[in-house]
Amino acid sequence: MIRLHLTRGDNPAVVSLQLPATPADIGEAYAQLNTISTGRPPEIKDVESPIRNIGQYLRNAKPDNPQDMDKLNTLAQRIFKMSAEQRQLFMGTLDCSCISGLEDVLRVSEQTDEYILIPNANSDAELGRYSGAWAV
C-alpha cells in the first residue's frame, strides 16, 4: 500500500490517492486537484507506506505521467504482497542501492530474495562476527 499526498505548486491543499488505484480513482484525484489549481502539474508532497523510507525515492515521480502512475501502481501491488521480513529487506536494500528513479525502485523491489536480514548486526564489528561464523 502506498498513499500519495498530491498538490499543485505552492498551494498547501493536498489530495490523497491510495495505490494501487483504478483509472477512475486517479481521475477523481485529478479532478480534486483541479479544484485547487490548474496552473502547475501535480507533485508528490508526501508518501505514506509501510516502507518508511520510500517517500524520498518517489518524490520526483510525475503523477501526471501515465507511465509513472503505472509504475507506482505496480510498486504498491508488490509492497502489498510482501511479508514483514521482505518489507524490512526492501527498506534496507533501497538505502544501500543506487536509486535514480522509479525503475530502480521497481528493480530493487524484485530483488529482496537476494538479500538476508541479519538480526542485531548494527555495526561493522557485529557484521564481521556474523560473517566470520559462516566463513568457509
pLDDT value of position 136: 46
Model confidence band, residue 134 (pLDDT cutoffs 50, 70, 90): low
Quick one: cell of 1?
500500500
Model confidence band, residue 135 (pLDDT cutoffs 50, 70, 90): low
State the DSSP code for 54. Answer: T
Return the residue matching grid coordinates 503523477.
63
Q: Which of 68, 60, 72 is nearest to 18 (CA)?
A: 72
Domain boundaries, the chain: 2-114
Q: pTM of the predicted model, to two decimals?
A: 0.85
pLDDT value of position 125: 83
pLDDT digits (tens, 9 = 90+) for 80-122: 999 998 999 999 999 988 999 999 999 999 988 888 777 777 7
pLDDT value of position 10: 77
Helix-, strand-, coil-residue percentages of the chain, each rounded to 5: 50, 15, 35
Average pLDDT over residues 36-43: 84
CA distance 78 to 53: 16
